[in-house]
């Protein structure tokens, strides 16, 4: 498999960007360049789960990305030892890449030692957000203590209808709304749609408790297996970006492209071309 972008892929990505720039013109008034905060596009390293860290870094450079949500997969951000983790952190720093979040990280135990180990992992990496996969609601008060101690935001990731607890961001909000303001959500927009929740309404409802977003697209709103490159499906990407601007979102929109794991770059390039085109049409740099 080629590890660089071929001319056909680049030309297709450029065409998508040009086309996408025309799509959201009606939203330009809602996001004037002088006042709207930029939306920061980043990468969820799970997209490149079949490839080692060196290749991830090379692709990040090609994509002009400087922020990453790292997962403990391959050698992206190992949790096996502090030394292995710091080697990864140093490689990203040398490449000008910042680890903004980690995850998904799982919290299966309602025990201080287990929870502290995850916060120490996050602290060593310098990440500001833990994206959590499956904490049980009864564990949240204990986790909240560590959020206060470490000053690291805790973003529960919704996984749609299959998730035993967190189908939708609204389920997360219900559980954390009276907790420390650093207890919040990572909205996965694809899983949110599959849960039957209006994504734009969820963004407004969660508001300041939205700490990270995983971006993807679906051809069918109820099918996990219908994922496509962003811009080729039915998710309302321009309206989602407009809602993020409206709530003054300060986090990342991290692409989590979960298909074509052995050859992800063509779809990744198309996704970023479309998202950047949409943002350009709104007068916002992504």
pLDDT one-digit tens code per residue, 98-156:
999 999 999 999 999 999 999 999 999 999 999 999 899 999 999 999 999 999 999 99
Whether 173 maps to a domain, the answer reads yes
Q: pTM higher than 0.85 for the full model? A: yes
Whether 17 maps to a domain, the answer reads no
pLDDT one-digit tens code per residue, 9-22:
444 545 454 444 44
Q: Which two tokens stand for residue 194?
A: 């599959």
Whether 8 maps to a domain, the answer reads no
Looking at every residue in the chain, the average pLDDT score rounds to 90
At 260 the pLDDT is 97
- On the question of pLDDT at 284 being above 90, the answer is no
pLDDT one-digit tens code per residue, 35-44:
444 799 999 9
At 38 the pLDDT is 74
Report percent pLDDT > 90 for the chain: 84
At 164 the pLDDT is 87
Sorting pLDDT into bands at 50, 70 and 90, what band is 285? confident
Sorting pLDDT into bands at 50, 70 and 90, what band is 269? very high
Mean predicted confidence (pLDDT) in 74-100: 98
Alpha-carbon torsion angle 272, 275, 277, 278, nearest 10: 180
Mean predicted confidence (pLDDT) in 83-103: 98
Number of domains in the chain: 1
Whether 62 maps to a domain, the answer reads yes
Sorting pLDDT into bands at 50, 70 and 90, what band is 283? confident
Calpha distance 100→106 (Å, rounded): 17
Whether 178 maps to a domain, the answer reads yes
Report the CATH number at residue 182.
Answer: 3.20.20.150
| Domain range enclosing 231 | 38-281
Whether 19 maps to a domain, the answer reads no
């Amino acid at each position: 498999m080629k590890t660089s972008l071929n001319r056909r892929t680049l030309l297709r990505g450029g065409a998508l960007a040009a086309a996408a720039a025309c799509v959201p013109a009606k939203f330009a008034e809602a996001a004037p360049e002088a006042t709207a905060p930029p939306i920061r596009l980043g990468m969820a390293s799970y997209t490149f789960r079949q490839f080692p860290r060196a290749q991830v870094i090379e692709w990040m450079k090609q994509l002009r990305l400087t922020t990453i949500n790292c997962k403990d997969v391959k050698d992206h951000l190992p949790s096996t030892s502090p030394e292995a983790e710091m080697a990864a952190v140093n490689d990203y720093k040398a490449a000008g890449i910042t680890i903004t979040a980690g995850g998904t990280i799982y919290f299966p135990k309602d025990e201080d030692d287990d929870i502290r180990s995850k916060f120490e992992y996050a602290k060593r990496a310098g990440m500001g957000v833990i994206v959590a996969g499956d904490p049980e609601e009864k564990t949240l008060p204990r986790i909240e203590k560590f959020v206060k101690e470490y000053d690291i935001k805790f973003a529960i990731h919704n996984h749609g209808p299959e998730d035993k607890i967190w189908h939708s961001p609204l389920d997360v909000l219900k559980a954390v709304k009276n907790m420390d303001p650093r207890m919040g959500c990572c909205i996965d927009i694809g899983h949110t749609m599959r849960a039957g929740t209006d994504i734009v309404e969820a963004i407004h409802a969660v508001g300041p408790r939205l700490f990270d977003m995983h971006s993807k697209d679906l051809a069918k709103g109820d099918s996990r297996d219908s994922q496509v490159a962003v811009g080729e499906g039915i998710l309302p990407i321009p309206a989602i970006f407009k809602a993020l601007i409206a709530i003054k979102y300060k986090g990342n929109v991290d692409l989590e492209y979960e298909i074509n794991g052995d050859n992800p770059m063509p779809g990744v390039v198309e996704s970023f071309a479309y998202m950047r085109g949409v943002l350009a049409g709104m007068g916002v740099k992504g």
